Structure 1
Amino acid sequence: MAGNHQKNESSKEQTERPKRADAQKNLVALLQAAKEVFAETGVDAPMRDIARRAGVGVGTIYRNFPQRADLIAAVFRQEVDACADTAEEFAQHYAPAEAVDRWMQRYVDFLVAKRGLASALHSDDAAFKPLPAYFDARLEPALQGLLNAATEAGELRGDVTAYDLLRAVAGLCTPSGHGDVAQARRLVSLLIDGLRYRSE
C-alpha cells in the first residue's frame, strides 16, 4: 500500500511539473505579446489580439489577469525590472561613468516604451496605485549604485542623486518636452558629460 501511495504521489508530481512549466511559458509569452501590442496600438487593444500573438486562448489571459488593469500593471513591472537589471550588467562590462551613461540611455528606452501606458497608469484604478513606489524601489537603487561607483572612481561628481537624474530625464521624455527620443538621448549624454566635467 505504501509503495502504491508513493508511486501515485510521484506520478502526480511529474504531471504537475510540466503543467507548471507550460503555464510559466504561457505567462512569459503573454507578457511579451501584451508589451508589443500595447506599444503598437495602445492599452485598449482587444485581448484577442494579445492572445493571438502569444499563441494562447483569451481565457488564459483572464485566468492570470482578471482585469485589463492587472495585465497593464504586470507589463509595467516587467519593464521596470528589465531596466533595473541592466545596471548590474553595465557595471560588469564598462567603466563606471560609461556604465552610468549607458544605463541612462536604457532608461530613455524604458520611458519611451512606457509612454503608451502613461494615461492608464495615471488613472485611479487600484491596480496602479503601488506602481510609483515599485518604480522608485527598483530604479533608484540601480542607478544610485552606478553613481556611487563612478564617484568613488573619480569619474563623476558626487553631488547628484539617482532621484534627481531619474526625474530630470523623465522630464526630457515627456510629450510636453516634445518627446523627441533622439534629442533626449543627446541631452542625456550632455548631462553625463557635465557630471564628468566637475568630477575632479
Structure 2
Amino acid sequence: MTGDEAAATRPRRPLRADARRNEDRLLEAAATAFERDGAGASVKDIARSAGVGVGTLYRRFPSKELLVAAIYRLEVERLCEAAPRLAAELPPPDALRAWMERFIDFMAAKEGMADALRAVLSDDDEKLETRAMLAGAIDHLLTPAGGPSAARPEITSEDVLMALGGISLMAGAEGRRELASRLIDLLLHGIVKS
C-alpha cells in the first residue's frame, strides 16, 4: 500500500462546510468527466469544472485512482439510498424495476473508469462491502417494510444482483441500453409472484 493509499484509508476528520462543498463539486465534475472521457479525463479540466484549483483536488485526492475510488463509493451509497425512497413511493414491483434501471445506468457510467476501478475493486474487502450494500438495497425492495414481499420466496438479493450484473455485461458488450430494459422485464417476471 502506498503512502497515498494508506492516508486515504485512515479515518478522515469531518470537513468544514466549504471544504465539503468543494469535495462534492469535485466528485460530481470527476464523475461526469470519467463518464464522458474515460480514464483519460483531465485532472485540470475536472478541477476547473468544479470551480477549484488543481491543488485543492490533489490535497483531497492525491491520485486519480483515489478520486475514482471516492466517486465509486459515493455513487454506490446513492444507489443504495435510493432503495428506501423508491419503496416508499412506488408499488413493490415498480420500485424494484426502477432501482434495477438505476443499477444498469450506474454500471454503464462506470465503463469510462473501468481500468481505474479494477485497482479499487482488487481489494476483496471493498468488493464484499459493496456487494453487501447492494444486496441490502435489493432486500429492502424485495421485502418492503410493513408490507408483504412481492418476490417469490426462493429469490434472494444475491440472485438478483448476479442477474443484474449479467444483464449489465451483456447490454454493455452489445452497446444496447434498450436491451438491458428488456432483460430487466424478463428478470422481473421471474422474481415477482404471479
- The letter for the 2-side match of 1:141 is G
- The letter for the 2-side match of 1:171 is G
Matches within 5 A, 1:127-142: 129=123, 130-142=125-137
Q: Is the 8 A contact 1:73 1:131 kept in 2?
A: no
> Are residues 68 and 26 of structure 1, via their aligned partners in 2, closer, same or farther at CA, if it must alter by over 3 Å?
same
Structure 2 distance, partners of 1:136, 1:104, is 15
Q: What RMSD in Å do the two structures reach over aligned CA positions?
A: 2.2
| TM-score (structure 2 length as normaliser) | 0.83
Shift of residue 87, structure 1, vs aligned partner = 0.2
- The letter for the 1-side match of 2:153 is G
- Residue segments in structure 1 that go unaligned for 5+ positions in a row: 1-18
Structure 1 distance, partners of 2:74, 2:64, is 16
Q: Is the 8 A contact 1:30 1:61 kept in 2?
A: yes
- The letter for the 2-side match of 1:89 is R
The question of 1:61 aligning with 2:65 is answered no
Instruction: Quote the residue 2:23 is aligned against.
Output: 27
SS of corresponding position for 1:43: helix
SS of corresponding position for 1:153: coil
- Residue segments in structure 2 that go unaligned for 5+ positions in a row: 1-14
Q: When the two structures are aligned, how many residues end up with a matched partner?
A: 178
Shift of residue 169, structure 1, vs aligned partner = 1.3
Instruction: Quote the residue 2:152 is aligned against.
Output: 157
- 114, 121, 134: which one pairs with 1:118? 114
The question of 1:74 aligning with 2:78 is answered no
Larger radius of gyration: 1
Structure 2 distance, partners of 1:141, 1:120, is 26
SS of corresponding position for 2:52: coil
Q: Residues 70-104 of structure 1, C-alpha deviation per residue, up to 9 Å, x if partnerless?
A: 10000000110111110010111111122111111
The question of 1:46 aligning with 2:42 is answered yes
| TM-score (structure 1 length as normaliser) | 0.81
Q: Is the 8 A contact 1:37 1:45 kept in 2?
A: yes
